[in-house]
Amino acid sequence: MASPDQDALTVDALVVGAGAGGMTAALTCALEGLDVLLCEKSAQVGGTTATSAGTIWVIGTRQAREAGFTDTTDDARRYLDAIIGPATDNRRDIYLETGKDVVEYLERRSEVKFSAYTRHPDYLVNRPGATLAGRALAPLPFDGRLLGNDFKLLRPPIGEFMALGGMMIGRDDIEPLARPFGSIASLRKAVSLVWRQARDRLRHRRGTRLLMGNALAARLLMSLKAQRVPIRLNAALQELIVEDGRVTGAVIGSNGRQQRVTARRGVILATGGFGGSTVRLNDHVTPPLADAVAFAGAAGDGMRIARAAGAAVEDDHEQPVFWTPVSRTAWLKGGRGAYPHLALDRSKPGLIAVNAAGRRFVDEAVSYHDFVLGMHRSHASVPTIPAWLVCDAGFLHKYGLGRIPPNRESFGRMIRNGYLVEAKTAEALAKAIGVDAAGLNEEIARNNRYAATGEDLDFGKGSTEFDRNNGDPKHGPNPCIGPIATPPYYAMAVYPSTLGSSIGLKADADGRVLDGNGAPIPGLYACGNDMASIMRGTYPGPGITLGPALVFAWRAAMAVAGKD
């Protein structure tokens, strides 16, 4: 530990971790007049936020109302109660009641801007209080050039989500880029995107047209710059300083040196939970994981160091993490090594997921979290790790699969590196991937019958608004079920992985970290995935990690500023 006088520094507030939670906390502290220091263990800001979809799930916002959506806190509460069960503290109610105020505060006082999705259903739309739109907000796109030289400080998206040497691709960009000659509008958009990317690469290492979580992180960085908040990179939390039962600061390690930072009002932990470390994840999940999508720096530092200072951990969640299936992309330069199969391929007509018996085990179009839960249920009796996504040539050409984009004519590289398996017949495919041929043949035949009738009698694929929202609206009678009948046939292995951790430090609605007796530890706060999730290991809808991250970061900062 650094001596008390060695390179000592004193601030009002110290924030550790520069993802959405940490940057929001630091920004709010600055806007409320505090002298704040933001420390980040890596060389860039953004954390997992920068590689995410950037969606937040917040009730009753101005954006939703102006888009014509009506929603009530009572409806949202009924929905969460139906999924999660009774609340164990008041944080859920506080979140539902104050989320819209936090969004409005950031919109009014910073560069953080959102718009309402025209349609983005809750993930379990058959539950009471669910909605088809109005709760999910997307960050507005951002021009990275506005950051000037600081653009290089922003963590890029994972390579799996970029094309043409670093161009971000949004959902609405896929069709124009895949089929630029499909219409005049598609051609114009494709030309515009490629031309912008070509110009960007003359001056930058990647594209400056920022979308989704990268846009949110950029907007937060721009706002911090405007408030002149000092950001110290390559600066890792090593120890909390506790004096007379109060956290009074921390020891920060940077470039081989240690510095004692005194925080007059408080330390806010926002290190991202432990979702980026398979070592830490495997302390909590079984079977063991080999892949993590979250930022590798989210390695449980905040939880580990806070526990040493007496903090309690809330670990009685339905699931310890938030799940997603991934295909392995170690062959992809600049990638994270795992492509998250969120919705765009699994929901399309003409694909099934099978286990080692060649049998389907889940509605393939359910949320990424629930898909992995289906994998685990099946794996208890039949090997389902990996599971195999099976389709035919027509599907692969029209929709793509995993990291393979639509309209691709040749898959030789993907086949050679094992990312994709190809066979002329279903029997040959089953042999190549090690699943039961009779089972696979029967499942393909059943799928084809369901494609004709439009009704999946086994798992109900395409029977919910959530499923259909991600299917192909031009395909009938069911936008999520199509035949698998055009050889060659293809399969891709998918494995369980995580988008982030759910269990975390016990805290109250103002982010104050609690000890084993349920009492606040003076001077210590947490937000983001360092704080135990109010969703308790369930996944009700899009943005249920980032929404609470922003709201409780704001509340923690306000508490530090004495305005709780």
Do 445 and 506 lie in a common domain?
A: no
Q: How buried is residue 217: exposed, middle or buried, by Cβ count under 10 Å (0-12/13-18/19+)?
A: buried
Q: How confident is the model at residue 1 (pLDDT cuts 50, 70, 90)?
A: very low
Do 507 and 469 lie in a common domain?
A: no
Do 533 and 467 lie in a common domain?
A: no
Do 552 and 438 lie in a common domain?
A: no
Question: Tokens 């989320």 belong to which residue?
Answer: 99
CB of 249 closer than 8 Å to CB of 8 = no
Beta bridge partners of 243: 246
CA atoms of 62 and 43, how far apart (whole Å): 36
The answer on pLDDT for 161 being more than 70 is: no
Q: Specify the pLDDT at position 171.
A: 64
Residue with the bigger pLDDT between 219 and 52: it is: 219
**Across 72-94, average pLDDT:** 96
Q: Specify the pLDDT at position 140.
A: 95
171 in any annotated domain: no
Least confident of 204-218, 288-302, 361-375, 453-467: 204-218
CA atoms of 202 and 255, how far apart (whole Å): 32
Query: Which of residues 498, 514, 544 is at a domain's end?
Result: 498
Share of the chain above pLDDT 90, in %: 82
Collapse the DSSP code of 200 into the 3-class scheme (helix H, G, I; strand E, B; otherwise coil) and give the result: helix
CB neighbours of residue 194 within 10 Å: 15
Q: What is the CATH number of the domain that holds 76?
A: 3.50.50.60
Q: Give CA 478 to chain center in angstroms.
A: 28
Q: How buried is residue 477: exposed, middle or buried, by Cβ count under 10 Å (0-12/13-18/19+)?
A: exposed
Q: How far is CA 199 from CA 157, 159, 339, 419, in A?
A: 19, 20, 28, 32
**Across 465-471, average pLDDT:** 95
* Structural domain span for residue 506: 9-140+213-273+502-560
CA atoms of 169 and 425, how far apart (whole Å): 34
Do 269 and 358 lie in a common domain?
A: no
The answer on pLDDT for 162 being more than 80 is: no
The answer on pLDDT for 352 being more than 80 is: yes
DSSP 304-352: HHHHHTTB-EE---S-SEEEEEEEE-TTSTT--SEEE--STTTTSTTEE
Do 338 and 474 lie in a common domain?
A: yes
Nearest Cα residue to 150 out of 86, 82, 231, 84: 231
Q: Specify the pLDDT at position 181.
A: 62
Q: How confident is the model at residue 174 (pLDDT cuts 50, 70, 90)?
A: low
Please compute, for residue 178, the number of CA atoms within 13 A of its CA located in the half-sphere on the CB side. 19
Token pair recorded at residue 446: 């059943």
Q: Specify the pLDDT at position 407.
A: 83
Do 360 and 228 lie in a common domain?
A: no
- The amino acid at residue 205 is R
Q: How confident is the model at residue 5 (pLDDT cuts 50, 70, 90)?
A: very low
Q: What is the CATH number of the domain that holds 443?
A: 3.90.700.10
The answer on pLDDT for 3 being more than 50 is: no
Do 397 and 440 lie in a common domain?
A: yes
CA atoms of 346 and 325, how far apart (whole Å): 10
DSSP 32-83: TT--EEEE-SSSSB-GGGGGS---EE-SS-HHHHHTT----HHHHHHHHHHH
SS (H, E, C) 480-536: CCCCCCCCCEEEEEEEEEEEEECCEECECCCCEEEECCCCEEEEEEECHHHECCCCC
Q: Specify the pLDDT at position 505.
A: 98
Question: Tokens 């993907």 belong to which residue?
Answer: 414
Q: How confident is the model at residue 203 (pLDDT cuts 50, 70, 90)?
A: confident
Please compute, for residue 406, the number of CA atoms within 13 A of its CA located in the half-sphere on the CB side. 16
CB neighbours of residue 74 within 10 Å: 11
Q: Specify the pLDDT at position 482.
A: 98
Most confident segment among 163-167, 335-339, 358-362: 358-362
**Across 241-246, average pLDDT:** 96
Q: What are phi and psi of 295, to 5 degrees?
A: -55, 130
DSSP H or E segment with residue 276: none
Q: How confident is the model at residue 150 (pLDDT cuts 50, 70, 90)?
A: very high
DSSP H or E segment with residue 266: strand 257-269
Q: Specify the pLDDT at position 406.
A: 86
The answer on pLDDT for 308 being more than 60 is: yes
Q: Specify the pLDDT at position 198.
A: 65
CA atoms of 154 and 347, how far apart (whole Å): 32
CA atoms of 292 and 340, how far apart (whole Å): 10
Please compute, for residue 562, the number of CA atoms within 13 A of its CA located in the half-sphere on the CB side. 5
Nearest Cα residue to 403 out of 270, 543, 411: 411
Write out pLDDT tens, residues 130-140: 999 999 999 99
**Across 317-345, average pLDDT:** 88
Do 489 and 517 lie in a common domain?
A: no
Query: Which of residues 448, 478, 498 is at a domain's end?
Result: 498
Do 393 and 423 lie in a common domain?
A: yes
190 in any annotated domain: no
Q: How confident is the model at residue 2 (pLDDT cuts 50, 70, 90)?
A: very low
Do 426 and 540 lie in a common domain?
A: no
Q: How confident is the model at residue 177 (pLDDT cuts 50, 70, 90)?
A: low
347 in any annotated domain: yes
- The amino acid at residue 283 is D
259 in any annotated domain: yes
CA atoms of 362 and 379, how far apart (whole Å): 12
The answer on pLDDT for 70 being more than 50 is: yes
Q: Specify the pLDDT at position 411.
A: 87
Nearest Cα residue to 344 out of 172, 100, 102: 172
Share of the chain above pLDDT 70, in %: 91
The answer on pLDDT for 4 being more than 60 is: no
Give per-residue burial for 338-352: e unless 16+ CB within 10 Å, then b. bbbbbbebbbbbbbb
Q: Are strands 338-340 and 351-354 parallel, antiparallel or unpaired?
A: unpaired
Q: What are phi and psi of 394, to 5 degrees?
A: -65, -45
The answer on pLDDT for 164 being more than 60 is: no
Q: Specify the pLDDT at position 226.
A: 97
Residue 402: partners with Cβ closer than 8 Å, 6 or more residues away: 327, 329, 339, 341, 345, 389, 419, 492
The answer on pLDDT for 467 being more than 90 is: yes
CA atoms of 119 and 53, how far apart (whole Å): 15
The answer on pLDDT for 168 being more than 60 is: no
CB neighbours of residue 150 within 10 Å: 16
The answer on pLDDT for 155 being more than 70 is: yes
Query: Which of residues 481, 498, 515 is at a domain's end?
Result: 498
The answer on pLDDT for 556 being more than 50 is: yes
Number of domains in the chain: 2
Q: Give CA 35 to chain center in angstroms.
A: 31
**Mean confidence (pLDDT) of the chain:** 92
Least confident of 54-58, 184-188, 227-231, 497-501: 184-188
CA atoms of 301 and 315, how far apart (whole Å): 16
Do 404 and 548 lie in a common domain?
A: no
Give the angle 46-47-51 at the CA atoms, nearest 5°.
Answer: 85
